[in-house]
């Protein structure tokens, strides 16, 4: 059985492995999405599914929402909605996604329109976890290092955002709320305002976390522990780089980095050197790089769930099979040696 962990203080328990979906509608068709859902949920016991109104990735106006539609058609066929925990996300602002509501924001009007559209596509009356996909303010996320404050930028005040989310909870469309691509200041401010004003308290934070990007540990891990805002770790295989399939300059047919050269975050020179070192360490201990990379993420005490994604059933099976793998102290020590020598090459 796959371990279940509490989602903050919501009373909701989620499996330590979460089924990621962002390739559905781009690299995977509807039948393949349904196959993955049935295998993960009905054969392997995963109860947690994560999606977003933005998906599939890379985001495009003509495919937007397809991922939620595939989940919805599967839900409609399967039934038994209440044994699943379904999470989705609302876009933050950005000139590159003006096709969302003329430019998405986290205002009450935008969030109500967004959740209603997501619920229609998902063919459900509610989502268990509703997340803000990225902040409604200028800050550092999506690999941006350093913080440069910009005066006069338009941003939705956090108390207004929380009041908007409260209205979604009150009308039964959302059970719990979460953040994504957030900073320590952001999480703590959401928590402080919620407690002062009696508004919903965030239950989780969905940020990148992998052997190539452990920046979460610098400020957010302590927040997760002390405030019960656990990490939903995305890109634990660093866009597939930590499967080892791109080593030696390989570009397998149909693989994400082969199809989409825009995704270079995890394939810079430093990341490649680190990946080679991690692959050697895994091989030394009789592990695949995928096994070591995923088991490391799932084992971290601040992780609520490890969001895995796959484009084939074989990949999905291998990923899920790591749920109970425990790395030895020798392997963990070896990981730290590499991390110190090549810290966070893909922030």
Structure tokens at 89: 């996300």
Least confidently predicted of 237-241, 253-257, 309-313: 253-257
pLDDT at res. 261:
67
- Helix, strand and coil percent figures for the chain, each rounded to 5: 45, 15, 40
- pLDDT, average across residues 29-56: 98
Over 90: is that where the pLDDT of 39 sits? yes
Task: Judge whether 55 counts as a catalytic residue.
Answer: yes
Give yes or no for residue 80 having a pLDDT over 60.
yes
Check if the beta carbon of residue 156 is closer than 8 Å to that of residue 109: no
Q: Look at residue 92 and tell me whether its pLDDT is greater than 80.
A: yes
pLDDT at position 260, please? 65
Helix axes 108-122, 66-78, angle to 10 degrees: 50
Q: How many angstroms separate the CA atoms of 16 and 2, rounded?
A: 7
Q: How far is CA 85 from CA 54, 188, 310, in A?
A: 19, 25, 19
Spot the catalytic one: 39, 55, 70, 266. 55
Question: Cα(44)–Cα(197) distance, rounded to whole angstroms?
Answer: 41
58: nearest Cα among 27, 15, 100, 85:
27
Distance CA 139, CA 132 (A): 14
- pLDDT tens digits for range 234-250: 999 999 999 998 888 77
Write down the mean pLDDT value for the chain: 95
List, in sequence order, the alpha helices (H) in the chain.
30-37, 66-78, 108-122, 158-170, 184-197, 216-227, 256-259, 269-284, 289-299, 313-320, 329-341
Mean pLDDT over 25-31 rounds to 97
What is this structure's pTM?
0.97
pLDDT given for residue 165 in this prediction:
98
**Structural tokens at position 211:** 């052997």
Lowest mean pLDDT among 69-78, 82-91, 139-148: 139-148
Q: Are 214 and 243 in contact (CB under 8 A)?
A: no
> What DSSP string describes 209-268?
-BTTB-THHHHHHHHHHHHT-EEEEE-TTTTTGGGTTTGGG---TT-HHHH-TT--TT-S
Q: What is the pLDDT of residues 132-185, one digit of tens each?
A: 999 999 999 998 888 888 876 799 999 999 999 999 999 999 999 999 999 999
Enter the tokens of residue 344.
């966070």
Q: How many CB atoms lie within 10 A of CB 321?
A: 14
| pLDDT beyond 80 at 255 | no
pLDDT tens, position by position, 186-242: 999 999 999 999 999 999 999 999 999 999 999 999 999 999 999 999 999 999 999
Is a pLDDT exceeding 80 seen at residue 263? Answer: no
Which pLDDT does position 322 carry in this prediction?
98
pLDDT of residue 159: 98
Predicted local distance difference test score (pLDDT) of residue 262: 63
> 4-241+300-325 belongs to which homologous superfamily?
NADP-dependent oxidoreductase domain (3.20.20.100)
Share of the chain above pLDDT 70, in %: 96
What is the distance between the alpha carbons of residues 224 and 302, in angstroms, rounded to a whole number?
6
Segment 42-58 shows an average pLDDT of 98
């Amino acid at each position: 059985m796959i371990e279940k962990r509490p989602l903050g203080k919501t009373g909701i328990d989620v499996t330590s492995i979460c089924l990621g979906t962002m390739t559905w509608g781009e690299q995977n068709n509807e039948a393949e999405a349904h196959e993955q859902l049935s295998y993960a949920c009905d054969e392997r016991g995963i109860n947690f599914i994560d999606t977003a109104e933005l998906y599939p990735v890379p985001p495009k106006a003509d495919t937007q929402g397809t991922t939620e539609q595939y989940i919805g058609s599967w839900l409609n066929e399967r039934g038994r909605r209440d044994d699943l925990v379904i999470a989705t996300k609302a876009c933050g602002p950005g000139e590159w996604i003006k096709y969302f509501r003329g430019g998405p924001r986290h205002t009450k009007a935008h969030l109500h329109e967004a959740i209603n559209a997501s619920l229609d596509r998902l063919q459900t009356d509610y989502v268990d976890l509703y997340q803000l996909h990225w902040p409604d303010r200028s800050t550092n996320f999506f690999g941006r290092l350093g913080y440069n404050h910009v005066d006069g930028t338009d941003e939705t005040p956090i108390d207004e955002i929380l009041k908007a989310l409260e209205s979604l909870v009150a009308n039964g469309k959302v059970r719990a709320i979460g953040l994504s691509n957030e900073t320590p200041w952001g999480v703590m401010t959401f928590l402080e305002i919620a407690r002062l004003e009696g508004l919903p308290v965030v239950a989780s934070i969905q940020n990148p976390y992998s052997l190539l990007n452990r920046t979460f540990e610098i400020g957010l891990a302590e927040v997760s522990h002390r405030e019960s805002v656990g990490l939903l770790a995305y890109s634990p295989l660093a866009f597939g780089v930590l499967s080892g399939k791109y080593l030696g300059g390989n570009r397998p047919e149909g693989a994400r980095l082969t199809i989409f050269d825009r995704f270079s975050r995890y394939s810079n020179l430093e990341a490649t050197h680190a990946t080679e070192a991690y692959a050697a360490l895994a091989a030394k201990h009789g592990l695949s790089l995928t096994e070591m990379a995923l088991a490391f993420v799932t084992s971290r005490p601040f992780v609520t769930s490890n969001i895995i994604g796959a484009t084939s059933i074989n990949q999905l099976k291998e990923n899920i099979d790591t749920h109970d793998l425990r790395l030895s102290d020798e392997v963990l020590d070896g990981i730290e040696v590499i991390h110190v020598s090549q810290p966070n090459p893909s922030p």
